[in-house]
Amino acid sequence: MTSSVPRLVIAAPSSGSGKTTVATGLMAAFAARGLAVSPHKVGPDYIDPGYHALASGRVGRNLDAYLCGPELVAPLFLHGARGCDIAVVEGVMGMFDGAAGEGELASTAHVAKLLRAPVVLVVDASSQSRSVAALVHGFASWDPEVRVGGVILNKVASDRHEALLREALESAGVPVFGVLRRVAQVDTPSRHLGLVPVAERRGAAVEAVAAMAEQVRAGCDLDGLVSLARGAGALSCAAWDAAEVLASSPPPPLPVPSPGAAAPSTPPGGSAPRPPSALKGPRPQTPDGLVVAVAGGPAFTFSYAEHSELLAAAGAEVVPFDPLRDEQLPDGTAGLVIGGGFPEVYAAELSANEPLRKAVSALAETGAPVAAECAGLLYLCRELDGQPMCGVLDASARMEERLTLGYRDAVAVSDSSLAVAGTRMRGHEFHRTVVEPEAGDAAAWGVRVPRRRLEGFVQRGVHASYLHTHWASEPGVARRFVERCRTS
């Protein structure tokens, strides 16, 4: 089976060159022309795909050759690009920067080769003129398997500056597909973990994306870029499909609850967890499956779309809720997924929603499966920066200056609602917080880099950890979680 969706990979020599502005602007500009645009992001980043979704009107999806393996990059791409006229893939860091110590693995160049896609190099030209030709020549010739189809010059100061840059690149034989000047309104605010997510900016995010689209429309050769995208090579693989991968994976063994698992502690400033009868609504199996509640809203914006798709394919009815506003879990909740985000920014508001904190604690008390990653881990602690949280875990969390960042090879050290002990998965850490203690009596993962340690918590049905994982790499995780919902 072959497929040839027109596609471009937007790369750069380094971070901060303007990849997000160009990629997001292209998505919005193509969409404004009536094209169905498939948005993608190289690497584990959750924030850029939010802007991509706003620009294209479709779910932003990640392509991570480390988390999912190189063999899944093209199938996952084709899954996201179904029915689309063109795809735009935003790269990560510098074009050849990938997983530390792993060569090209998970770099933008690696993904471009896996997708057989032409690359458009975004160059920050603010402090150079003729030297741009040497820079672009180096990137275009470093790996002959990477096809650099042209450049877009960013932060160009004047008409004279543009003329010097174009003259240099013409002599180098590299097409210029666009020139962008400095425009303040396309700047997007950042904080301790990068750009502020779309869900927190609302109207301002819409205005920023519109400004990106206009700048790209005015400064880029859209017809030329579409033509370049149509030159991408055919992909000889099938699109990833959640139902198919679950059907081909063996049914997972159910975990055996630890007989000595600690009961959740009382949330500071709150009352003891309510008994199961206090949960809102019954917990019957619905016609489409069990209800799995998935946290969302401004405080919990980090998730991979494939997780919900896998849960649904496994028989769950996936129901989103907002821990900042909803005082109860969705009716019939049998399992809970709390992904990443910024609970540290909303600690006071999350703490003030005491009814939901109690409902989460009560659900965990029943042994129902709860999967919490990073922000979810913080939310399940006793407290976060002194603010009472759910108290499911006998641990406290706080902000710190040090950034913890990087890919991780992990092995499950305890049977849980997600995995049996010994399961190997790859993950990613990205936070400026610390949880004390670092691991519970039954830890979630053992990791070796950057130091050998046990990490996370497994108790009753709860699996809580800093590690972000991509379930497409291990679809049995979703099936196991849903089976646990049925039996808990």
Active site residues: 374
User: Which two tokens mark 268?
Assistant: 């500071």
DSSP code for 202: T
Angle between helices 203-219 and 47-56 (to 10 degrees): 70
Sheet containing 457-459: order of strands: 317-321, 291-295, 333-338, 370-373, 462-465, 457-459
Q: Which residue has the tokens 């969409």?
A: 31
Handedness of CA 424, 425, 426, 429 (dihedral sign): negative
SS3 of residue 334 by DSSP: strand
SS3 of residue 365 by DSSP: helix
User: Which two tokens mark 105?
Assistant: 């693995």
Cα distances from 488 to residues 257, 321, 337, 442, in angstroms, run 10, 22, 15, 19
> Cα-Cα-Cα-Cα dihedral of 82, 83, 87, 93, to 10°?
-30
> What amino acid is encoded at 302 in this protein?
F
The H or E element containing residue 62 is strand 61-63
138 within 8 A of 123, measured Cβ to Cβ: no
Q: CA–CA separation, 229 vs 73, rounded Å?
A: 18
Residues 6+ apart with CB under 8 A from 410: 424, 425, 426, 427, 445, 446, 447, 455, 467, 469
316 within 8 A of 341, measured Cβ to Cβ: no
